Amino acid sequence: MMRTRPLKVALLGCGVVGSEVTRIMTTHADDLAQRIGAPVELAGVAVRRPSKVREGIDPSLVTTDATALVKRGDIDVVVEVIGGIEPARSLITTAFEHGASVVSANKALLAQDGAALHAAAEEHGRDLYYEAAVAGAIPLIRPLRESLAGDKVNRVLGIVNGTTNFILDKMDSTGAGYQEALDEATALGYAEADPTADVEGFDAAAKAAILAGIAFHTRVRLDDVYREGMAEVTAADFRSAKEMGCTIKLLAICERAADGESVTARVHPAMIPLTHPLASVRGAYNAVFVESDAAGQLMFYGPGAGGAPTASAVLGDLVAVCRNRLNGATGPGESSYAALPVSPMGEVVTRYHISLDVADKPGVLAQVATVFAEHGVSIDTVRQQGKDGEASLVVVTHRASDASLTGTVEALRKLDTVRGVASIMRVEGE
């Protein structure tokens, strides 16, 4: 039976995503009401520039006083799409205190203060949903939090930033350098005027923290995530990758240790075999590969950003939260019972591709191999090319810890026959 009194929604932010949320709420109002069991009504929109014309929004709903809006007491759900830490954090906690549940797309805030926000939601008996915070339209949070709740997730490996994937895809397919590919991404609108958050891995690291926390039932903060940007990736790295039957992606990797007693979360460029499903993810698309005990290998793929895709995820959460509201219930909250420690990057074990500039003379390979052996790093393959007294030596290792590899490289730099370390890149997705 349809309830006639509408559920009231307050929207914080009306940019690219917020405007799409209002459009969908308006154009699909009847369908949303049927799915929820009651109509939803936009009760207020908090913005910074009230004079801007916003198509389809009653100007009387627009306000610059976001705090007053979330304090009204008659608001059922607050949708937060303003981003950043403050005032978003204060507005969300105030919304809980005044009886509203919250739908958020704020990855940075959730990665930094997710535990406190979940605690506030639980204290006041309200929902906190955030499907849109990771991978845009791709259903990922809910499958990890609900569909796989009875399984044991061991690894989450993903491309969670469309800007970086577009840049690396261009470098791979055209042979372009990093700056050239970045300039094209900026011209096409895939990269911001200041692309730092994307290309330095901050955006992906926030998403990795959220994914790791949900997948492993452990609190993982942004500070726990190792982060390495992609500005140092070169066309030469892609040539080396192709020789190995690989490509290069900026990956978010969340893993449970083999003994199950700890987890790791990291973001960095890595070579990945062309046979791996993630290698075929092109352009600005996102994809996440999940490995679990019972379900095995699962892949989630789709547009990871943009107004309409992100709004789709927001509206999915809005429907779920409104249904809970009607039923007097709440959905899943934070699951951190495992409380596993997050291991430092030095303990992470993976394969490595190391390119060295060396003197082209007898005995160099033996010296290099000795250094690897002394640091307990086993070599898988070696390739050497030389001309006019100089040579390049490419070493691919078996699995080794980051700490042991770091020690190996430091020792290599001290050899008279090693002119320099051209590049070091991890190899993932075996």
Q: At a CB cut-off of 8 Å and minimum separation 6, what does 228 contact?
A: 201, 266, 267, 268, 269
Q: Is the pLDDT of residue 387 over 80?
A: no
Q: Under DSSP, is residue 144 helix (H, G, I), strand (E, B) or coil?
A: helix
249-278 pLDDT, tens per residue? 999 999 999 999 999 999 999 999 999 999
The C-alpha atoms of residue 120 and residue 428 are separated, in whole angstroms, by 38
In one letter, which amino acid is 362? P
The C-alpha atoms of residue 91 and residue 72 are separated, in whole angstroms, by 12
Tokens in use for 98?
């005044």
Residue 127's pLDDT is what? 98
Q: Are strands 77-80 and 7-12 parallel, antiparallel or unpaired?
A: parallel
The C-alpha atoms of residue 223 and residue 122 are separated, in whole angstroms, by 24
The C-alpha atoms of residue 176 and residue 192 are separated, in whole angstroms, by 20
Q: What Cα–Cα distance (Å) separates residue 99 from each residue in 8, 40, 106, 110, 132? A: 12, 17, 20, 20, 22
Greatest Cα-to-Cα distance within the chain, rounded to the nearest angstrom: 86
Tokens in use for 255?
């893993």
In the predicted model, what is the mean pLDDT of the chain?
94
Q: Supply the pTM of this predicted model.
A: 0.94
Q: At a CB cut-off of 8 Å and minimum separation 6, what does 275 contact?
A: 245
Q: Is the pLDDT of residue 386 over 80?
A: no
Residue listed under structure tokens 């591709």: 353
Q: Is the pLDDT of residue 385 over 80?
A: no
81-90 pLDDT, tens per residue? 999 999 999 9
62-79 pLDDT, tens per residue? 999 999 999 999 999 999
Q: Is the pLDDT of residue 389 over 70?
A: no
Q: How confident is the model at residue 21 (pLDDT cuts 50, 70, 90)?
A: very high
Residue 391's pLDDT is what? 85
91-139 pLDDT, tens per residue? 999 999 999 999 999 999 999 999 999 999 999 999 999 999 998 889 9
Which of these is catalytic: 107, 170, 207, 249?
207
Q: How confident is the model at residue 362 (pLDDT cuts 50, 70, 90)?
A: confident
Q: CA-based angle 116:119:120, to the nearest 5?
A: 90
Tokens in use for 142?
């809910």
Q: Which of 392, 428, 350 is nearest to 240 (CA)?
A: 392
The C-alpha atoms of residue 70 and residue 101 are separated, in whole angstroms, by 10
Q: Is the pLDDT of residue 430 over 80?
A: no
Residue 306's pLDDT is what? 84
Per the annotation, the verdict on 8 as an active-site residue is no
Tokens in use for 10?
């307050």
Left if phi > 0, otherwise alpha if psi is -120 to 50, otherwise beta: which for 135? left
268-307 pLDDT, tens per residue? 999 999 999 999 999 999 999 999 999 999 999 998 888 8
Residue 1's pLDDT is what? 64
